[in-house]
Structure 1
Amino acid sequence: MSTAKPINVYSIPELNQTLDEALPSIFARLNYERSYALLDTKLYIGYSIAVVAGLSFFLDKKFERSEIILYQKLLVGAYVVLSLMFWYFTRFVEKGTVYTGKNRDTKEEIYVKTKFEKNEPLYLVGLIQKKKGNSSRKDLKTKLEVNKVFNESGYLQNEVLFKWFSEQLNVLATKKNI
């Protein structure tokens, strides 16, 4: 099985986007249900920033400056705090996670982080597996040569990618807990 359209396999952004977009279907076949907790948290913080900015604009348009100066100072403070929360969340909590899911059977959580470095066609994948209700954690960092999952025409071979991730999860299962 391959994607509907070919991509330019010499374009790192296209490779990254195509491979990241394939993760939900790959992990669904591996019995993982996608979790949106990280994305929801990021959205809540972002919407809160927008509400604070909108409220500040509304107060500025409806009232005189002398009437709202204290409220504007509070809103600017809230905006700064929320912006710092957003920065901290994306930098230290989310840390490049592109997929999170929970195994339907074992209740394990999986976190997948991906990136390309130095414009090389190596898909760097970090897998983190956590057991629910337990502090045990397993990490695996691995590399995928993209020419193994794309054919010469630029089509993604989903079956090969599925097999590769399945093998990586088997390696992760044999690792000891951290």
Structure 2
Amino acid sequence: MSTTKPINVYSIPELSQSLDEALPSVFTRLNYERSYALLDTKLYIGYSIAVVAGLSFFLDKKFERPEIVVYQKLLVGAYIALSLIFWYFSRFIEKGTVYVGKKKDTKEEIYVKGKFENNEPVYLVELIQKKNEDGSEKNLKAKLEVNKVFNEGGYLQNDVYFKWFSEQLDVLNSKKNE
């Protein structure tokens, strides 16, 4: 089975987008349910930044400058603080995570990070498995050559992609806890 839309397999952004978009269906087949906690947190921070900016604009338009200087200073400080929190969250907490899922029958979470380096057609995948029952964590780094999951026409072969992730999860599950 392949996707209905072909992509340019020589375009790293298209490859990345196509592979990232296919992850939810792959992990659904592996009995994982997508978790939106990281995305929701990032959205809340972003919306907070927008509210602070909007409030600052509103105050600036409705009142005279001497009346709102103190409030504007507070709002600028809040804007800077929220922007720093957003940067920190993106850089150190989210760290390029493209998929987060929870196992339906256990208290296990899987984090998938994926990226391309040096414009090479090799998708670098990091799987992080966290078990909430005992607090254990396992990591696995793997390389996926994109010509194995895309055919000549630029179609993603979903069954091959699913099989590759299934094999990687088997390797991850066979590892001892770190």
Between 1:129-138 and 1:51-60, the stretch displaced more is 129-138
Give the number of equivalent residue pairs.
Answer: 178
**Which deviations, in whole Å up to 9, do the C-alpha atoms of 1:63-101 show, x marking residues without a partner?**
110001000000000000000000000000000000000
Runs of 4+ residues over 2 Å off in structure 1 = none
Q: How do 1:104-115 and structure 2 match up within 5 A?
A: 104-115=104-115
1:147 and 2:123 are equivalent in the alignment = no
Distance in 1 between residues matched to 2:136 and 2:112, nearest whole Å: 17
How far residue 5 of structure 1 moved from its aligned partner, in angstroms, is 1.4
**Which deviations, in whole Å up to 9, do the C-alpha atoms of 1:5-38 show, x marking residues without a partner?**
1111111111100000000000000000000000
State the TM-score, normalized to the length of structure 1. Answer: 0.99
**Which deviations, in whole Å up to 9, do the C-alpha atoms of 1:35-59 show, x marking residues without a partner?**
0000000000000000000000000
1:172 corresponds in structure 2 to 172
Distance in 1 between residues matched to 2:92 and 2:18, nearest whole Å: 25
SS in 1 for 2:156: coil
Unpaired segments of 5 or more residues in structure 1?
none
Q: How do 1:7-156 and structure 2 match up within 5 A?
A: 7-156=7-156
8 Å CA contact retained: 2:107, 2:133 = no
How far residue 134 of structure 1 moved from its aligned partner, in angstroms, is 2.7
How far residue 152 of structure 1 moved from its aligned partner, in angstroms, is 0.9
Distance in 1 between residues matched to 2:88 and 2:148, nearest whole Å: 36
Distance in 2 between residues matched to 1:51 and 1:110, nearest whole Å: 33
Distance in 2 between residues matched to 1:35 and 1:170, nearest whole Å: 21
Unpaired segments of 5 or more residues in structure 2?
none
State the TM-score, normalized to the length of structure 2. Answer: 0.99
SS in 2 for 1:18: helix
Distance in 2 between residues matched to 1:118 and 1:105, nearest whole Å: 39
Among all aligned residue pairs of Structure 1 and Structure 2, give the percentage whose two residues are the same amino acid: 81
The one-letter code matched in structure 1 to 2:152 is: E
Distance in 1 between residues matched to 2:91 and 2:4, nearest whole Å: 34
SS in 1 for 2:117: coil
